[in-house]
Chains A and B, each alone.
Chain A
Amino acid sequence: MQLQVFLNADDVRFSYLSDDEPPVKNEVLKGVSLAVGKGEFVAVLGHNGSGKSTLAKCFNAINLPESGTVTVNGMDTADDENLLNIRKSAGMVFQNPDNQIVATIVEEDVAFALENLGVEPEEIRRRVDESLKLVDMYDYRMHAPHKLSGGQKQRVAIAGILAMDPECILLDEPTAMLDPRGRAEVMNTIKLLNKTKGTTIVLITHYMEEAAQADRVVVIDGGEVMLDGTPKEIFSQVETMKNLGLDVPQVTELVWRLRKDGFDLPADIISEDECVEALAGLLGKRSAQI
């Protein structure tokens, strides 16, 4: 079944001007085409400077493409009229939770977007409570943001986006500044939203283990889409990934090395459970031989 396209980038080019005199044009996106279906969970990989954040900002009308078109739910980002509607349907969460929280009380911050949109006070109250419960931060609603842990802050930031009830959430390395526990909290929240609410998720990340949990992985390098497929398809190409300067999940790497040494294991292992099963199977076979 073909998914209904929600985010669509068609041959998008984008460049930044440097601060030098005269300014040097630095092309970051060199003709990217990417379609994300409704309800999909897409992980975007790529090393620093590959253009993945720039692309995410294109989907939110923060960046407007130099050429090519970007549409969000059919709305062209180049059209000013669509601006608020686009930002309402494709919310964005950034890396540093400290720099995206505006208010001095958690619930006030979650209400910020709704206040901007001119929603009625009672409705704001209802949606703020609902979003805070979804990210499991309701008990902290009266707290000051600077007293929360990184993972909690990031969940508040997600709640602030959720309150707008977006159909899609773009997350730009939301776990980069968090400890393992905070990372797990954020990942669980993201997966929960994708499963229960059918929210389209675009997750930019450096952690391969996180990407392995997505439905689809897109690898961007040098401003172009290099690979696009299911996590299994992508991570089984260990050598291609390494050439692009990227890692694969640890278990995939382990299996890949064992395969190189001649062990008979499947190439598309991306989770620990699969790996344990495959290794147990292998060991069982061996002991049976002896």
Chain B
Amino acid sequence: MFKDITLGQFFPGDSVVHKMDPRVKLVLTVMFIVMLFSAKNFYGLLVGIAFTIMTYLLSRIPFVMILKSMKPIIPIVVFTAVLNLFFIRTGRMLWHFGFVKIYDDGLNTAVFMVVRIICLIVGSSLLTYTTSPIDLTDAIERLLSPLKKLGAPVHELAMMMTIALRFIPTLIEETDKIMNAQKARGSELDTGTFREKVRGMVPIFIPLFVSSFRRAEELATAMECRCYHGGEGRTRMKQLSTAPRDWLACLYVALFWAGVILMNQFFK
């Protein structure tokens, strides 16, 4: 049933974007978001859109994926659009029907916001499309490692994330097994009202919980047997290293950012 679930949204490939150091990629994604928010007019936003399209082309991620990443944000987009469209009441009135009045400022802001949100999501999805979850966890751990000095449990969080990623497929498989077992004993999972369906999930989740705890305990023992004693004094087999392409990528983002600022200055 869930056998072919893809973990995260990773889309394997060997483009320049895929090969980049995940730490640099993460930082640049944050930079990209800041860049989008610094755009003050449509021309600035256009630079942002150009950046997104260019980067997609570089990463050779199929454009269908853009649509896929947009699906979950449609409600937010609609909500933002409606809010801006109806509640900004400055500028020239374009259309009115009863108490519904639409002004040109409202229309402008609505379109601006919608384009910005879409660009934001589509652009930052590229990070998860081109970076495997493990690399991402690694990058987060290393980027946040200065916080360890302040007592933040950075290593523990990264370890938890790795284990979660490792066990998602195992637990999905197990859920499948339990569901089949319950079906074999005559429980009806697909029929009935919503309430009945929810109630039908109880005999699936309870065994799943129990077995997860058992697994957790066994895993903890196995980890101890392999000398796990927290993040202290731990080394890593895979070392992350920056290559010239990472610095080129920084330059690439910087250029587009300069473009956005230029547009802000140029068209006031």
Contact = CB atoms under 8 A, between A and B. Distances in A.
Contacts of B223: 102, 112
B162 A125 contact: no
Contacts of B219: 99-100, 102
Contacts of A113: 226-227
Contacts of B228: 112, 116
A111 B222 contact: no
Contact of B170 (A60, A92, A98, A102): A98
Contacts of B169: 144, 146
A119 B165 CA distance: 25
Interface in A227-270: none
A103 interface: yes
B133 A87 contact: no
A88 interface: yes
Interface string B212-246: 00010011011111111100011111110000000
A13 to B, nearest CB: 21
Interface in B139-193: 162-163, 165-166, 169-170, 173
Contacts of A116: 226-229, 234
Contact of A98 (B7, B165, B215, B229): B215
A119 B222 contact: no
B222 A100 contact: yes
A164 B166 contact: no
A100 B218 contact: yes
A84 B233 contact: no
B50 interface: no
A57 B217 CA distance: 14
A87 B235 contact: no
Interface residues of B, number: 29
A105 interface: yes
A118 B234 contact: yes
A160 B223 CA distance: 11
Interface in A65-88: 84, 87-88
B27 interface: no
| Secondary structure dominating the interface of A | helix
A101 interface: yes
Contacts of A103: 134, 162, 166
Nearest to B236: A115
Interface string A146-172: 100000000001001100100000000
Contacts of B229: 84, 116
Contact of B224 (A62, A96, A124, A144): A62
Mostly helix, strand, loop or mixed at chain B's interface?
Answer: helix
A117 interface: yes
A115 B237 CA distance: 7
Contacts of B134: 103-105, 108
Nearest to A128: B237
Residue from the set A99, A112, A161 with the largest chain B CB neighbour count within 10 Å: A99
Contact of B225 (A92, A118, A119, A121): A92
A140 B12 CA distance: 17
A102 to B, nearest CB: 6
A108 B135 CA distance: 12
Contacts of A99: 215, 218-219, 222
A91 B170 contact: no
A87 B163 contact: no
Contacts of A144: 169
A94 interface: yes
Interface in A113-145: 113-121, 124-125, 128, 144-145
Nearest to B229: A116
A102 B224 contact: no
A111 B239 CA distance: 13
B221 A62 contact: yes
Given A60-B225, A87-B224, A91-B225, A104 B237 contact: no
A108 B165 CA distance: 13
A98 B215 CA distance: 8
A102 B162 contact: yes
Contacts of A88: 227
Nearest to A105: B134
B235 A96 contact: no
Given A116-B234, A124-B237, A87 B226 contact: yes
Nearest to B164: A104
21 contacts: A62-B221, A62-B225, A91-B225, A99-B222, A101-B166, A102-B162, A102-B166, A102-B222, A102-B223, A104-B134, A104-B162, A108-B237, A115-B236, A116-B229, A121-B235, A121-B238, A121-B239, A124-B235, A144-B169, A146-B169, A157-B222
Task: List the 9 closest pairs (A to B, CB-CB), nearest first.
Answer: A100-B222, A113-B226, A99-B218, A111-B237, A124-B237, A146-B169, A92-B225, A118-B233, A116-B227
